[in-house]
């Protein structure tokens, strides 16, 4: 890639190219930008990555990522424990939090059911979800899953599994564009879809 | 941005968003991808960045970046010292090296003259270039600058300054698309433009 650049730069470019949205060319540009701003960007980013690798934990209750376990949402006594919102990944939780209108708790599923990829319920945090939903405190489970085939398959499966718990099961209103990933929606759309949520 | 995610993740996202080509959304996706692949990607990338910050030097002869000073090109005795290729930035040097057809040496200018940005010759490595070109060893200086207004202004200025040195001054053949950055060209175009270079 840049045989004249020495092993450190080679390795930096090869690893940067693995970030989502960065191909080999953007990775080379990023490596140069980092090396040109060594004290302002390269060293701080290396330190931030090391700190994140050491400090960030997966919440043992909801599956989110945070500096503490339980995470800041799970340990916030002012959040409404009667509402439990199921998201595919942490990015969906962040999107809902940016929206600012949801004050309940979360459950990060860790993926979606996928016939194509051979991903079944045992690879997702489904058992934990059913247990939390059936604990007595939860009145409503809101499925905030993407409006894709896998997202809707997963929503139907979860609605069946959750029927036994006594909690109402709703999902975000259409308003989420078909094929749309939650993480890419503007905050207003998310807030609206949340308000107009309906039974799953 | 993700107030529920703790200070380490916040800081990681904020710094990632400063990389060229990564906005806030891609930065969030990258942060999640890094945290999900902690041992395979996050920790290695943090180490690669630290190693690059500590090991990578600016070559005192040509201005390139490498693990050694002088860089691997400048210390390669098999390269043709009669040819000196001037590039705007290290990315241009890498692009020419990927092309594989150039076997001379380089001079990294460190930018372009720009009336708009108020960048004059004193902020570029022009004096060093004139000194190298006039050292007696250099027969031809090849200006591999972008086909933009600033690139061509800089080429004309350098051609005048280099006239005194006795070295012939050429520039890459048109073949470099107008407005095109060297770093974004395919390797074949670069090799062709190099073969068909013409007097500046
Ligand atoms: Zn939690
Ligand atoms: Zn050098």
**pLDDT digit string, tens, across residues B10-66:** 999 999 999 988 888 899 999 999 999 999 999 999 999 999 999 999 999 999 999
Closest residue in B to A47 (Cα–Cα): B46
Query: What is the average pLDDT across B121-135?
Result: 96
Q: Tell me the average pLDDT of chain B.
A: 90
Please tell me the number of Cα atoms within 13 Å of A20 on its side-chain side.
15
Name the minimum distance, in Å, from the CA of B167 to any CA of chain A: 26
Give domain status of residue A60, yes or no. no
Nearest-CA neighbor of B92 among B18, B144, B53?
Answer: B144
Name the minimum distance, in Å, from the CA of A164 to any CA of chain B: 31
Is the CB of residue B114 less than 8 Å away from at least one CB of chain A? no
Do A126 and A157 fall into the same domain?
Answer: yes
Query: What is the average pLDDT across B73-92?
Result: 95
Candidate from B38, B66, B91 with C-beta closest to A6: B66
Please answer yes or no on whether B26 and A26 come within 8 Å at the CB atom. Answer: no
Name the minimum distance, in Å, from the CA of B147 to any CA of chain A: 19
Do A45 and A139 fall into the same domain?
Answer: no
Give domain status of residue A198, yes or no. no
Nearest-CA neighbor of A184 among A54, A89, A71?
Answer: A89
Do A11 and A74 fall into the same domain?
Answer: no
Do B131 and B156 fall into the same domain?
Answer: yes
User: B94 by DSSP, 3-state: which?
Assistant: helix
Do A79 and A19 fall into the same domain?
Answer: no
Name the minimum distance, in Å, from the CA of B129 to any CA of chain A: 20
Candidate from B6, B34, B48 with C-beta closest to A12: B48
What's the pTM value of the predicted model, to 2 decimals? Answer: 0.82
Looking at the CA of A63, name the nearest ligand. Answer: 1
Supply the pLDDT for residue B193. Answer: 73
Backbone angles phi, psi at B17, to 5 degrees: -65, -15
Candidate from B29, B68, B94 with C-beta closest to A91: B29
Give domain status of residue A193, yes or no. no
Do B18 and B48 fall into the same domain?
Answer: yes
User: B44 by DSSP, 3-state: which?
Assistant: helix
Q: What is the DSSP string of B68-91?
A: SSS-TTTT-TTSEEEEEEEESSHH
Do A154 and A94 fall into the same domain?
Answer: yes
List all residues of chain A from 145 to 184 with a beta carbon under 8 Å from chain B.
183-184
Supply the pLDDT for residue A176. Answer: 60
pLDDT tens for each residue of B141-177: 999 998 888 999 999 999 999 999 999 999 887 666 6
Beta bridge mates, B174 = B176
Beta bridge mates, B113 = none
**pLDDT higher than threshold 80 for residue B103:** yes
CA B62 to centroid of ligand 1, rounded, Å: 53
Please answer yes or no on whether B12 and A52 come within 8 Å at the CB atom. Answer: yes
**The three-state (H, E, C) secondary structure of chain A, written as one string:** CCHHHHHHHHHHHHHHCCCCCCCHHHHHHHHHHHHHCHHHHHHHHHHHHHHHHHHCEECCCCCCEECCCCCCCCCCCCCEEEEEEEECCHHHHHHHHHHCCCCEEEEECCCCCECCCCECHHHCCHHHHHHHHCCCCCCEEEEECCCCHHHHHHHHHHHHHHHHHCCEEEECCECECCCCCHHHCCHHHHHHHHHCCEEC
Residue B139 vs residue B6, higher pLDDT? B139
Do A155 and A129 fall into the same domain?
Answer: yes
Buried-state track A80-108, b at ≥16 Cβ within 10 A, e below 16: eeebbbbbbbbbbbbbbbbbeebebbbbb
Do A50 and A74 fall into the same domain?
Answer: no
Range of the domain at B112: 65-171
Do A75 and A164 fall into the same domain?
Answer: yes
Domain harbouring A95, CATH code:
3.40.1360.10
Distance between start and end Cα atoms, chain A: 50
Please answer yes or no on whether A67 and B16 come within 8 Å at the CB atom. Answer: no
List all residues of chain B from 5 to 64 with a beta carbon under 8 Å from chain A.
5-9, 11-12, 15-16, 18-22, 25-26, 28-35, 38, 41-46, 48-53, 55-56, 64
Distance CA A25, CA A49 (A): 22
pLDDT mean values, one per 10 residues, chain A (200 residues): 77 94 90 96 97 96 96 96 96 88 95 92 96 95 90 95 94 67 72 73
Domain harbouring B32, CATH code:
1.10.8.420
Q: B96 and B144 in contact (C-beta within 8 Å)?
A: yes
Do B76 and B45 fall into the same domain?
Answer: no
Give domain status of residue B176, yes or no. no
- Helices in B135-200 by DSSP H: which ranges? 149-162, 187-195
CB atoms within 5 A of ion ligand 1 belong to A 59, 61-62, 64, 71, 74
Give domain status of residue B188, yes or no. no
Percent of chain B at pLDDT exceeding 90: 72
Please answer yes or no on whether B8 and A184 come within 8 Å at the CB atom. Answer: no
Give domain status of residue B199, yes or no. no
- How many structural domains are present in chain B? 2
Backbone angles phi, psi at A183, to 5 degrees: -65, -20
Q: Binning pLDDT at 50, 70 and 90, where does residue B1 land?
A: very low
Closest residue in A to B4 (Cα–Cα): A72
**pLDDT higher than threshold 70 for residue B179:** no
Q: B161 and B130 in contact (C-beta within 8 Å)?
A: yes
Candidate from A12, A21, A68 with C-beta closest to B49: A12
Q: B65 and B58 in contact (C-beta within 8 Å)?
A: yes
Give domain status of residue A181, yes or no. no
Beta bridge mates, B176 = B174
Give domain status of residue A50, yes or no. yes
The dihedral built from the CA positions of residue A79, A81, A84 and A90, taken in this order, carries a sign that is: positive
Structure tokens at B67: 């693990």
Q: Which residues of A touch B12 (CB under 8 A)?
A: 45, 48-49, 51-52
Do A156 and A74 fall into the same domain?
Answer: yes
Nearest-CA neighbor of A103 among A126, A123, A77?
Answer: A77
Distance CA A106, CA A63 (A): 9
């Amino acid at each position: 890639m840049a045989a004249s650049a020495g092993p450190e730069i080679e390795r930096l470019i090869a690893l940067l190219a693995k970030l989502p949205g960065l191909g080999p060319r953007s990775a080379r540009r990023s490596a140069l930008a980092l090396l040109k701003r060594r004290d302002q960007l390269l060293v701080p980013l290396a330190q931030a990555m090391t700190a994140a690798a050491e400090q960030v934990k997966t919440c043992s209750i909801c599956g989110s990522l945070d500096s503490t376990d339980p995470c800041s949402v799970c340990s916030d006594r002012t959040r409404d424990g009667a509402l439990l919102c199921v998201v595919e990944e942490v990015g969906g939780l962040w999107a809902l939090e940016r929206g600012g209108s949801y004050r309940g708790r979360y459950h990060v599923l860790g993926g979606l059911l996928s016939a194509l990829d051979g991903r079944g319920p045992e690879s997702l945090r489904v058992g934990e979800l059913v247990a939390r939903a059936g604990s007595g405190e939860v009145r409503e489970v809101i499925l905030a899953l993407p409006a894709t085939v896998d997202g809707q398959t997963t929503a139907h499966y979860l609605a069946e599994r959750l029927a036994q718990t006594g909690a109402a099961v709703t999902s975000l209103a259409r308003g989420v564009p078909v094929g749309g990933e939650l993480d890419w929606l503007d905050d207003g759309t998310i807030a609206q879809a949340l308000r107009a949520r309906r039974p799953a």
